[in-house]
Chains A and B, each alone.
Chain A
Amino acid sequence: MENQNSYIAPVLEVRNVSKDFSGIYALKNIDLEIFPGEVTAIIGENGAGKSTLMKIISGVYTEYEGDVLLNGEKVNFKNPKEASEHGVIIIHQELNLIPYLSITENLFLGNELLNRMGLLDSPKMAKKAKELLSRLHLDINPDTTLNQLRVGQQQLVEIAKALLLESRVLIMDEPTSAISDQEVRILFQIINDLKAKGVAIVYISHKLNEVFEIAGRFTVLRDGAKIGAGNVRETSHDQLIQMMVGRNLADSFRKVHNLHQKEVLRIENLCFRNPGNKNDYLVNDVSFSLKQGEVLGICGLMGAGRTEILEAIFGLYPAYVSGKIFIDGVEKQIRKVTDAIEAGIALVPEDRKLQGLILNMDVTRNTSLASLDKISKFNFILKKKEEELSLRFIRKLNTQVSSPKMEVQKLSGGNQQKVVIAKWLATNPKILLLDEPTRGIDVGAKAEIYKVIIELAENGMGIIVVSSELPEILAVSDNILVLSESKLTAKLSRTEATEEIIMKAALCAKE
């Protein structure tokens, strides 16, 4: 932005790029220009398409519509390695490091330096690694294995790995998600160095403060489309937030109605210590209550502690959780899953394939898994009762199956989710915890799941929905809790909540 020249050619151009995953567009007609010596911020909510776009640029996804141009020439990288050979390097959000190798070995992984004999040139690599670490102000022995480092330090090593390569375009995907303020300072210093050297930097973040500090230009993505772009100096926090979220509100499914006064769940001073770090809390002193028939939405950014609240209530980490849980006004000790089920709590977890389903089992057996006691006699499962149970929920939730004997791995995402919900409804819960109930399922199935949620609430179940999609939270919730950095930052009723207010509360770290 300091450049006074009339025109600088962009080093990287994205022209009219679209990408679909089995019919659903993740990106639609995106244009983007990246200039040398400048930081371009890509901003957007979870699922807006930021990471998809970066994966296209860096050669992770090779099939897409539209063109990517490097220095004015069309390129189509076959893999990230080829992209990095052309100077397009990505620092991934998730760490791609080998825990049992040393820092040096990780830094040179795949690009090892060899001596004349064709063997590893360890002294040279050690020397270079040392230089690099001191540039990053990382005062660690390069022979340390990765698993001995804190996550923040690991992230810096990941960044160092990228610095080792000659980059023309450096993409940083949420580089500060796990590092301390001090380390952010170091990172920004390095970014400024790189800028001075003429490297083009793409900076992905939803921390707007950082964007205003480091970036020259910005591009906002929403639902896979480009919403706006411009100079950071000419915009404001509020404008960016509006661009990030300002869509037509999804049809509101829920009419405002009077809630029952009877409380089914009360949480007092819930804390969840980070198992990896004693001084850190994943959930920090959260209290709230849930009434019969209420749908309570919990939102916040990635890592704000949404999922952890549900896990804490469900008794998954008793050793790290403190606080009081009252069910129907009576304090309960929930220290394992069976305690939770007995107390009438059900958890539909975030990842249905990893946590929810036995993929190679059929619909019936998945449905009955958590409530076998109810349909068994002397440990023998009563086949007839089991089939009835499964059929009842297939009808109730309108699950599309050719037969209850169908393996769940052959179902669509929406129907799989319905099977997980069925499994938990079969336990006859008073309180239903739903973690990202519609992640990765199509629009039609989403609407059906919303309908189910509302119907259950109207029949008196207390429901907590955790979601990273604000329209979803607004569509189904009576009340909304907003978390930021493991603390509760706002309690809103559905009449006062808007996406803007929620986003502000989610972005504010400290009140």
Chain B
Amino acid sequence: MEAQQLKQKLVKFQSVIALLIMCIALSFLSDRFLTADNSWNVMRQISVNMIISVGMTLVILTGGIDLSVGSILALSGAITAFLLKSGGEFISWNLYIGFTLLGALVGGTLTGTFLGWFNGLTITRFKVPPFVATLAMLTIARGLTMLLTGGFPITGFSGQMAFIGTGWFLEIPMPVWISAVVVLAAVILTNKTQLGRHIYAIGGNETAAELSGLKIKKIKLIVYSIAGALAAIGGIIVTSRLDSAQPNAGMGFELDSIAAVVIGGTSLSGGKGTILGTVQGTLIIGILNNGLVLLNVSPFWQQVIKGLVILLAVVIEKFNSKKN
């Protein structure tokens, strides 16, 4: 009996255990891994993926998918940068009209929210499968980014803008703060609120949810809008950290994000998974990336290894759920 309980605990905390083993192994293999510098570095690097993956988790919990987060990230970052740069100086009146930092941030976030909402609209109103709808948005948003930037980075912002991506607050990097707040909000949303419950119900059995009077369309619209908004926040952080909005920003981020969600134990068919699982998934991918770099593994092998880890995680998950 005790052995079985132990086994169940092991299964429950398998990602945490995997994480610990990875950390211990890396601290032996590289003396730079466990330094404070490197640790904050890792945390800062993964915070963007963490934020995006929270949105991705919500979408996947409803049984959907969002392939457009990388492009939405780029466009929202570019819009933020564009707004910061667009202002007119009227020298004769000694006047400058433009966007404040806050205005630009709101503008960028609204852009992402709107694009996410649009995803939700095509999915619920026009019954386009989420894979296709967001695939289309991936191209559309990327194209719009290119149009806006003309294919060149938008650079040179104020120090305040740089603070978001590179600054420290209470000895902790700002992006880490932001991702922590996002994670906390999402944990509360999924565990404590009606909306959260509805998200799980829709992913678990949409027909039953609909027959129980749940407003499926509205809920999906909200979820895709949240995913868009979070991608936009990621875009702002990236833009701030690089002090430039790159037209190619966020390329392939959707894949890292889906990988994190899946490694975190969320079922791609929906209805099953947790935000904290995704946090662990993000950490595993981030630390793996960092470790492989520290160990001077060739970038080509890095990709192979990352793929294998994703496969392994899912196989273990399937194996465990079969046994139960």
Interface residue ranges, A against B (CB under 8 Å): 316, 337-338, 340-341, 347, 349, 354-361, 365, 369-370, 372-373, 376, 379-381, 423
Contact = CB atoms under 8 A, between A and B. Distances in A.
Nearest to A352: B208
B207 interface: yes
Given A338-B215, A369-B197, A381-B197, A357 B208 contact: yes
A354 B205 contact: yes
Given A356-B208, A381-B197, 16 more contacts: A337-B210, A337-B211, A337-B212, A340-B213, A356-B211, A358-B201, A358-B209, A360-B204, A360-B271, A360-B272, A361-B200, A365-B201, A369-B214, A372-B197, A379-B194, A380-B193
A145 to B, nearest CB: 21
Contacts of B200: 358, 361, 365
Interface string B46-83: 00000000000000000000000000000000000000
Which of B198, B205, B207, B212: most chain A CB closer than 10 A? B212
Contacts of B193: 376, 379-381
A379 B218 CA distance: 15
A423 B192 CA distance: 19
A423 B197 contact: no
10 contacts: A337-B212, A354-B208, A359-B205, A361-B201, A361-B204, A365-B200, A369-B197, A369-B212, A372-B194, A379-B195
Contacts of B212: 337, 369-370, 423
Contacts, number: 64
A355 B272 CA distance: 18
Contact of B207 (A347, A354, A361, A380): A354
A393 B208 CA distance: 19
Contacts of B211: 316, 337, 347, 349, 355-356
Contacts of B205: 354, 357-359
A373 B272 CA distance: 23
Nearest to B201: A358
Contacts of B201: 358, 361, 365, 369
Interface range on chain B: under 10, 10 to 19, 20 to 34, or 35 or more? Answer: 20 to 34
A356 B210 CA distance: 10
Interface of B: 192-195, 197-198, 200-201, 204-205, 207-215, 271-272
B213 A341 contact: yes
Q: Which secondary structure dominates where chain B touches chain A?
A: helix
Contact of B209 (A340, A360, A369, A373): A369
A354 B206 CA distance: 9
A365 B197 contact: yes
Given A360-B271, A361-B201, A376 B208 contact: no
A257 B210 CA distance: 37
Which of A338, A354, A355, A358: most chain B CB closer than 10 A? A358
A376 B271 CA distance: 21
Given A337-B210, A338-B215, A370-B212, A358 B194 contact: no
B199 to A, nearest CB: 11
B63 to A, nearest CB: 12
A357 B198 CA distance: 13
A354 B209 CA distance: 10
CB-based closest 3 A-B pairs:
A358-B204, A370-B212, A337-B213
Nearest to A365: B197
A225 to B, nearest CB: 36
B196 to A, nearest CB: 8
A473 to B, nearest CB: 23
A347 B213 CA distance: 11
Given A359-B205, A360-B204, A361-B200, A376 B194 contact: yes
A381 B192 contact: yes
A355 B271 CA distance: 15
A42 B272 CA distance: 46
A354 B208 CA distance: 7
A380 B192 contact: yes
Contacts of A354: 205, 207-208
A460 to B, nearest CB: 23
Given A365-B197, A372-B197, A376-B194, A358 B213 contact: no
A360 B321 CA distance: 12
Contact of B204 (A359, A370, A372, A380): A359
Contacts of A349: 211
Nearest to A427: B213
Which of B198, B205, B210, B213: most chain A CB closer than 10 A? B213
A365 B194 CA distance: 11
A358 B271 CA distance: 9
A372 B201 CA distance: 12
Nearest to B205: A358
Nearest to A338: B213
A439 to B, nearest CB: 16
Contacts of B197: 365, 369, 372, 381
Which of B194, B198, B215: most chain A CB closer than 10 A? B194
